[in-house]
């Protein structure tokens, strides 16, 4: 990944845009990353991944709600350690 300072990015903006079409570019200020410049295709991929993640989280949360409704009362008394042990045993 290419890196430019904010001053370089300002002074060579056209070059920055061209470089971002090939690979993401990090823009730094005082040695710290402050921005990334990416191509439209890369941005679409990031947004698609974010949407897929959000959908997966929502589906898991919905499943979790249903699982809690069907769980036996004793399941609510299990500690995280006990749950982890049951999972290890099931593998």
Give me 15's structure tokens.
């070059």
pLDDT at 76 over 90: no
The strands making up 25-29's β-sheet, listed across from edge to edge, are 2-5, 25-29, 32-37
CATH 3.40.1620.10 at 2-38, yes or no: yes
Give me 50's structure tokens.
């974010």
pLDDT at 69 over 90: no
**Does the predicted TM-score (pTM) go above 0.85?**
no
Q: How far, in Å, CA of 30 to CA of 5, rounded?
A: 8
Span 10-50, pLDDT tens digits: 999 999 999 999 999 999 999 999 999 999 999 999 999 99
Residue extents of the structural domains in the chain: 2-38, 42-90
**Rounded (5°) CA angle 39-41-43:** 70
């Amino acid at each position: 990944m290419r890196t430019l300072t904010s001053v370089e990015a300002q002074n060579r903006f056209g070059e920055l845009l061209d470089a971002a079409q090939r690979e993401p570019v990090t823009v730094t200020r005082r040695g710290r990353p402050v921005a990334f410049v990416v191509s439209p295709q890369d941005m679409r991929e990031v947004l698609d991944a974010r949407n897929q993640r959000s959908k997966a989280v929502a589906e898991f949360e919905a499943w979790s709600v249903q699982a809690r409704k069907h769980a036996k009362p004793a399941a609510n008394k299990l500690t995280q350690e006990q749950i982890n042990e049951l999972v290890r045993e099931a593998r």
